Structure 1
Amino acid sequence: MMRRLIEPGDGFKNLKQDFKCESRNIFAALTSMVFVLAGAIPMLSSVAVSAGMTSAQAASFVMCSMAIGGLISIFASIYYRTPFYFAGSLTAIVVLKPMFEQFTLPEMVGGFVIAGTALFLVGYTGMIGWISRYLPLPVILGMVAGVFMSYGLGIVSSIASDPLSGTLIAGAFVAFPLLTKKVPPHIIALAVGIGCAVFFHSTAAGGSAGSYGLSLPVLTGPDFNGNILLTVSLPLVIMAVADVFKGYGVLKANGCDLSLNSVTVLSGLGSVLAAFGLGHTISLAGPVMAILAGEDAGKRERRFAGAVIYCGGVLVICVLSGILIPFIMRLPGTIIDLICGIAMTGLLVSSLQGAFGAGNFQMGALAAFLIGLSKVSLLGIGAPVWAIVFGWIVTLCMENGQWREMIAQGRPEKRQRAGRHPSSKERPSINENGVS
């Protein structure tokens, strides 16, 4: 019996009746845009600059990392009536810089294709269920917190390097909520950062970074070799799987549900498509989904409308990335680092809470955090992979009782319920082994 590619959802029937947009849906969508303008685009631009990409390649890198995910998000949000957002993994961005320095663009594309294919197989075969059963989430989040901590430290170093601009940007972010909580402080920090670049760094912000225009994908053929499998593909798969689990936790915390198999399959398919335009692995974007699926985003059954509106805006930004990227690439590095660090504060807090807040697997999470923070590389394999490996080993040795209890609570019948997507009608479910 053939497996389903993705689990059935509510589909596209009665969409006109169900798609009722509220003001809170629109506000959630606009708030989420902050993470694109102040977070994702500067972070992607920073990687593009370090990789020596042209403006056209950088725009394609941004567009394919985000636009493919936006299209998949619109489909999944409508099909499952759940606020999804797939995008180029922010976790993976952290480890991309040294990869681009070590390999050529065609080799990176080859690594992206392998990673996307592996993601698809992990979801299609039900392997994601095995991972969810045996790998403690605090260990994954400890790794994420350690790897992302460099962005938090970047806030401090940027202020020390550029005290005037740094103080104004960070001060605006911290103090603006005292005036009003209706406008996200991230967007104020972004506006102040652009102002500082114009008024205090006019020379650095001037000049030409390339041609302006609408963005089009720059197709690049893959080049495969043995080194990219462990150095590029494996870390990206682990990052993407970690993002899937984070997104799963966000939706569960807000009363939503999803099939881990279906999400991973969609991530894999999107990653393969994006790879040929220099886009890296696509997965669930936890910080944005936390906004789109939160209580402030409106009634639960209507929150998917905010995700659809947001993803439509993302597609517009992607088309205009050929205009935005040359400008952002001219911003001073200290300002970009500071804005990126501020954009990641929420993710740092949630990762640290997930790693150490529950009280379980703290030693394994600590080991993963420290190794992720160290940026150590052994045998050509980066710190994120070793953080997961040694964090899991520490858990097996020092927290074996907690690990066995976690496995005992993850019996097949419970995992089957976790893999189901609720709808208004009962329908056959697919457990994590892919059995109908």
Structure 2
Amino acid sequence: MRTSVTSAARVESPRAAGMGQPIGAGIVTALVGFTSSFAVVLAGLTAMGATSAQAASGLLAVCVTQAVGMIVLSRRYRMPITLAWSTPGAALLASTGAVSGGWAAAVGAFAVAGALIVLTGFWQRLGALIAAIPVEIAQAMLAGVLLPMCLAPVKALPVSPAVVVPVIATWLVLQRCAPRWSVLAAFAVAAVGAGVDIAVTHRRLDLSALAPRVEWTVPHWSWQAIIGVAVPLYIVTMAAQNIPGTAVMKTFDYQVPWRAAMTVTGLGTMLGAPAGGHAINLAAISAALSAAPSAHPDPKRRWIAALTAGCVYLVLALASGALVMLVAAAPKGVLETVAGLALIATLAAALTAALTPAAHRSAAALTFLVAASGVSLLGIGAAFWALVAGLLVRWFLPPAK
């Protein structure tokens, strides 16, 4: 009798978990995803030539499109399919800088990247081609793209030490005891520092910018932007987000509907592009927050966490204007510091994946150096040339023994 009672309790335990557990997991998923890298998005869009209003619109666009995508996919497939903006893609934009044709050309490149993502869902050969890019080359390119942003905290130290030092110290302490919230805490300290700086200098803020607003931009088609921005943005989004995202979901026994996921994220990217959104994709690292048993003991109930995350992102989208206003008023280098700290773990993982295999380490190292150089040839950014150089050297040099 005792055994049967215990077994019954175990069967009922998933139901007993109720709605609170997946809803709580969804809230955490959205808060962690948003606060850990929104500064990277703003830095990337600004580097592409966006004004403060256009950057705020871009942040609003990616929040809304990924939120709608999560709600649609999670309800349709009853899976905890979470989406995110392309953080590596935003870092790529920050390292690439303005392109020929300006912000309108960048918007056109975002739309092209979205079209390529949709195409990947329907054309298996294109997906196989991306998957065929050697891991060490793709990760080396990503590491090179991330390096300039990860150096930002060091460069900002002599410029705004009164704010930057507390931000770095807060991040370091939280990395030891609560890593998940380290970037959020660092941003909170940065916000306080910015507020103090505003009060001391008696600057007036444009309160009308607090309201969320969409700034539409007609896309301009530039071949330099397509090759130098759209193609690398597509590659890093696929290689660093979509493909790892499906792998993370498989570890929790979920088979992501590939065609549907690529269609939703690709169309979302295309629709968000005129408003300044750069790219949305499957979540990778943060996907585990909604797909793991901690979200709900019953795998069939965890989709509620992804649905909740989508709803929370719709609320967070309303804060886009306020965040951009705060960032614009902050001392020089503070935004870049928060963004750089948020990317250090990703840089470490990319360098490890790029340089650990000894067979083609020279090709990976060259890829990393070209991407980190920021060099631009024929109006095309360093990320594209890094990929080309790495693949050529890998093909030319025999594997090291």
> Is the pair's TM-score, using the shorter chain for normalization, greater than 0.5?
yes
Are 2:71 and 1:74 equivalent residues in the alignment? yes
Counterpart of 2:165 in structure 1 is: 167
1:180-195 residue pairs with structure 2 within 5 A?
180-181=177-178, 184-195=181-192
Q: Secondary structure at the match of 2:275?
A: coil
Matches within 5 A, 1:185-264: 185-200=182-197, 202-203=199-200, 206-209=203-206, 211-242=208-239, 243-264=241-262
CA distance in 2, matches of 1:193, 1:123: 40
Q: Which residue number in structure 1 is paired with residue 386 of structure 2?
A: 387
Please give the secondary structure, in 2, of the residue aligned with 1:114: helix
Q: Secondary structure at the match of 1:283?
A: strand
Q: Give the partner amino acid of 1:43.
A: V
**Residue among 137, 140, 147 paired with 2:138:** 140
Aligned residue identity for 2:229: V
Letter of the 1:224 partner, please give it: W
Look up the equivalent residue of 1:246 and give its one-letter code: P
Q: Do the aligned residues in 1 keep the contact of 2:63 with 2:317 (CA within 8 Å)?
A: yes
Note the 1:6-405 alignment, pairs <5 A. 21-23=19-21, 26-27=24-25, 29-30=27-28, 32-40=30-38, 42-50=39-47, 53-97=50-94, 98-100=96-98, 102-176=100-174, 180-181=177-178, 184-200=181-197, 202-203=199-200, 206-209=203-206, 211-242=208-239, 243-294=241-292, 296-299=294-297, 301=299, 302-357=301-356, 361-398=360-397
Cα distance change, pair 304–396 in 1 and its aligned pair in 2 (3 A): farther
Distance 1:295 1:354 in 2: 28
Aligned-partner residue type, residue 310 of structure 2: C
Query: How far apart are the structure 2 equivalents of 1:350 and 1:361?
Result: 17
Residue by residue, what CA displacement relative to the aligned partner does 1:84-124 show, whole Å, maximum 9, x if unpaired? 33333222222335554542333333222222222212221
* Normalised TM-score (structure 1): 0.76
What whole-Å deviation, never above 9, does each CA across 1:357-380 have from its counterpart, x for those lacking one?
A: 566654443332222222222222
Any idea what the Cα deviations from partners look like across 1:277-319, whole Å, max 9, x if unmatched? 1212222343432544456545471443322222211111113
SS across alignment from 2:394: helix
Q: Percent identity?
A: 24
> Would you say the 8 A contact 1:113–1:275 is kept in 2?
yes
1:70, 1:325 → 2: CA distance?
20
Instruction: Name the SS for the 1:224 alignment partner.
Output: coil
Q: Which has the higher helix share?
A: 2
| 8 Å CA contact 1:356, 1:365 repeated in 2 | yes
Residue 32 of structure 1, CA deviation: 4.5
> For 2:184 and 2:221, how far apart are their aligned partners in 1?
41
**Contact 1:152–1:345 (8 Å) recurs in 2:** yes
Q: Do 1:48 and 1:61's aligned partners in 2 also have CA atoms closer than 8 Å?
A: yes
What CA distance in whole angstroms lies between the structure 2 residues aligned with 1:308 and 1:52?
A: 34
Cα 1:368–1:77 change in 2 (3 A) is farther
CA deviation digits over 1:194-215, x for unaligned, max 9?
Answer: 2222235645693335623432
How far residue 144 of structure 1 moved from its aligned partner, in angstroms, is 1.0
Find the counterpart in structure 2 of residue 414 from structure 1: none
- Retained in 2: the 8 A contact 1:205–1:331? no
Return the alpha-carbon distance in structure 2 between the equivalents of residues 230 and 81 of structure 1: 37
* Aligned length, in residue pairs: 384
Q: Structure 1: state its 5+ residue gaps.
A: 1-16, 403-436
Cα shift at 1:244: 1.7
- Could you report, residue by residue, the CA deviation over 1:231-281 in whole angstroms, capped at 9, with x for unpaired residues? 332222223222322323433445443254443333221111111212122
SS in 2 for 1:333: coil
Distance 2:143 2:201 in 1: 32
Q: Distance in 2 between matches of 1:204 and 1:93?
A: 31
**CA deviation digits over 1:300-347, x for unaligned, max 9?**
714433222222111111133233322232222322111111222232
Alpha-carbon displacement from aligned partner over 1:124-174 (angstroms, at most 9, x marks no partner): 111343225521223212211221122221122223433332222221222
**Do 2:145 and 2:371's aligned partners in 1 also have CA atoms closer than 8 Å?**
yes
Structure 2 gap ranges (5+): 1-14
| Distance of 2:206 and 2:142 partners within structure 1 | 33
1:37-88 residue CA offsets vs partner (Å, 9 max, x unmatched):
3421x23333454556454433221111221122112222333343333333
SS at match of 2:151: helix
**Within 1, Cα distance between the matches of 2:360 and 2:294?**
32
The 1:45/1:392 distance shift into structure 2, 3 A limit, reads: same
- Aligned-partner Cα distance in 1 for 2:388–2:365: 13
CA-atom RMSD in angstroms: 3.3
SS in 2 for 1:276: helix
